[in-house]
């Protein structure tokens, strides 16, 4: 089965990477509300086909969407408060405490304020018998396979002051006995169920609006889940844990030129032997949930499905890890059989070895070409002129890289010489847009450009994430005045002359 984007009638399109959290909003963080609908309109005006978002999961310590307490839940912070007001669940005056005009997302402030106002809206929902509504009941019934455990997990997190689940009493650490005590936490469980109902309802309405306007949504699925998560708590057998439910080994990346100690992510490693025996049921459920949210799914750290780097639990750095193999070919054979029309992008960046190439070829998934990796040698596989196939997705930059403007300024030596040679300069155009144009001019079926780079921001102004940097990430917010006729025309012009603009 060939799952290239071209085979789905998808050829020479462009996308913009814009996290929901970074959308303009008077309430401290982007949401599924008006500003998201405005961004869909902006995509249409610029001739752009796809909107790529970062993971929509709830965030926890570190604020990373790649370290979530629940891989299948949506972030409560993305619930739009104005939509709740229009539903009669909040009064205009009550929204004042939720206003925050900070230029960066303040996750601590959100944690301390947002749940209170959502709790107020939930009380009104109950007072108006919203929980008896057929739509609400249908949502709970449809999602019962995960939402019951999610809501109980979050209720217990509240009960234990948000401490790690491995520190809870034994009766609550064990999923079976914890389920028996659900009645003791009924009110909090109902609150967290409603949060997911509202978040999913708002998201699906936004996606429907995008589809009505010809826009496809690219979602992002992290390969790993957090140890302190509903996923591990509710299915510990799916992970390599000891008798106290602590990981025996954790995920990360080995040392390299950018990180002498490597990257110690801390996520538990999957029990691949067990998963293989039951046909990867856990994975098929997770991928299926993702396809209900997105049109195209980008799977992060795809190389980890061929071989993964694991470090003994308790190590202070990633230096003492080792590589092990994973059953990626068997896994994606099952996934493709379960979702024959599923569109998947493989994030195959990083330490690419023959087993990773074999996995990518066996799946037929388009891989990623990141142009900031392209200028280290004369025949880099990331240089557009070397692309062997159009079945790939080109990125001039990603959420983990420098903003292009800062990256260009930092070039030196042979790398700068290659960049100047390989990236044509368009008269009157900045080098930032030269690199964007090079990516859009490539043969790749799809090119995705981070919004920060269309705005020509520097790292100080717009960098989203710096790998291995423990704090200060994921906070970028766009100005409310980004949607200018000048920018719209600039993007539309460059996508049109590279033959990617939608009609």
CB 470 within 8 A of CB 403: no
Separation between Cα atoms, residue 15 and residue 216, nearest integer Å: 9
User: What are the distances in angstroms from CA 216 to CA 60, 167, 264, 296, 364?
Assistant: 28, 42, 34, 8, 20
Buried/exposed 103-125: b ≥16 CB within 10 Å, e otherwise: eebbbeebeebbbebbebbbebb
Separation between Cα atoms, residue 435 and residue 455, nearest integer Å: 13
Q: Which residues carry out catalysis?
A: 300, 347, 400
Separation between Cα atoms, residue 503 and residue 501, nearest integer Å: 6
Transcribe 111-128 into DSSP letters. Answer: HHHHHHHHHHHHHHHHHT
Residue 430: φ, ψ to 5°: -70, 160
Q: Helix, strand or coil for residue 13?
A: strand
Give the N- to C-terminal CA distance of the chain in Å, as an integer.
30
Separation between Cα atoms, residue 250 and residue 194, nearest integer Å: 33
Give the list of residues 6+ apart from residue 173 with CB closer than 8 angstroms, or none: 165, 166, 233, 245
Buried/exposed 275-300: b ≥16 CB within 10 Å, e otherwise: beeeebebbbebbebbbebbbbbbbb
């Amino acid at each position: 089965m060939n799952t290239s984007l071209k085979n789905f009638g998808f050829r020479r399109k462009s996308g913009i990477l814009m996290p929901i959290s970074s959308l303009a909003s008077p309430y401290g963080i982007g949401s599924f509300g008006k500003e998201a609908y405005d961004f869909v309109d902006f995509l249409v005006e610029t001739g752009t086909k796809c909107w790529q978002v970062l993971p929509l999961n709830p965030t926890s310590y570190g604020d990373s969407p790649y370290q979530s307490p629940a891989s299948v839940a949506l972030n409560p912070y993305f619930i739009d408060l104005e939509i709740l007001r229009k539903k009669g669940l909040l009064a205009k005056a009550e929204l004042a405490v939720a206003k925050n005009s900070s230029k960066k997302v303040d996750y601590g402030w959100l944690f301390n304020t947002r749940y209170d106002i959502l709790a107020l809206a939930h009380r009104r929902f109950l007072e108006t018998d919203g929980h008896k509504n057929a739509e609400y009941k249908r949502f709970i019934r449809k999602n019962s396979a995960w939402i019951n455990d999610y809501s109980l997990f979050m209720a217990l997190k509240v009960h234990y002051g948000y401490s790690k689940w491995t520190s809870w009493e034994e009766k609550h650490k064990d999923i079976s006995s914890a389920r028996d005590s659900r009645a003791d936490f009924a009110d909090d469980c109902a609150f967290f169920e409603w949060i997911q109902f509202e978040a999913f309802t708002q998201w699906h309405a936004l996606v429907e609006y995008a589809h009505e306007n010809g826009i496809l949504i690219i979602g992002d699925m992290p390969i790993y889940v957090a140890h302190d998560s509903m996923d591990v708590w509710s299915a510990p057998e799916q992970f390599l844990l000891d008798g106290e439910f602590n990981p025996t080994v954790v995920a990360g990346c080995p040392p390299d030129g950018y990180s002498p100690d490597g990257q110690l992510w801390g996520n538990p490693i999957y029990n691949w032997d067990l998963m293989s025996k039951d046909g990867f049921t856990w994975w098929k459920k997770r991928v299926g949930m993702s396809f209900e949210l997105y049109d195209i799914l980008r799977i992060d750290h795809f190389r980890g499905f061929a071989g993964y780097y694991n470090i003994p639990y308790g190590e202070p750095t990633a230096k003492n890890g080792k590589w092990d193999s994973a059953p990626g070919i068997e896994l994606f054979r099952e996934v493709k059989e379960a979702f024959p029309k599923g569109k998947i992008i493989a994030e195959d960046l990083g330490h690419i070895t023959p087993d990773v190439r074999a996995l990518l070829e066996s799946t037929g998934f388009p891989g990623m070409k990141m142009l900031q990796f392209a200028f280290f040698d004369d025949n880099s596989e990331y240089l557009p002129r070397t692309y062997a196939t159009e079945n790939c997705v080109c990125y001039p930059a990603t959420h983990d890289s420098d903003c292009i403007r800062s990256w260009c300024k930092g070039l030196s030596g042979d790398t700068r010489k290659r960049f100047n040679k390989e990236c044509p300069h368009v008269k009157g155009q900045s080098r930032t847009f030269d690199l964007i144009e090079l990516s859009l001019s490539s043969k790749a079926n799809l090119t995705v450009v981070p919004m920060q780079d269309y705005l020509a921001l520097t790292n100080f102004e717009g960098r989203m994430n710096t790998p291995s940097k423990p704090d200060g990430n994921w906070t970028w917010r766009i100005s409310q005045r980004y949607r200018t006729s000048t920018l719209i025309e600039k993007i539309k012009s460059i996508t049109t002359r590279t033959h990617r603009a939608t009609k």
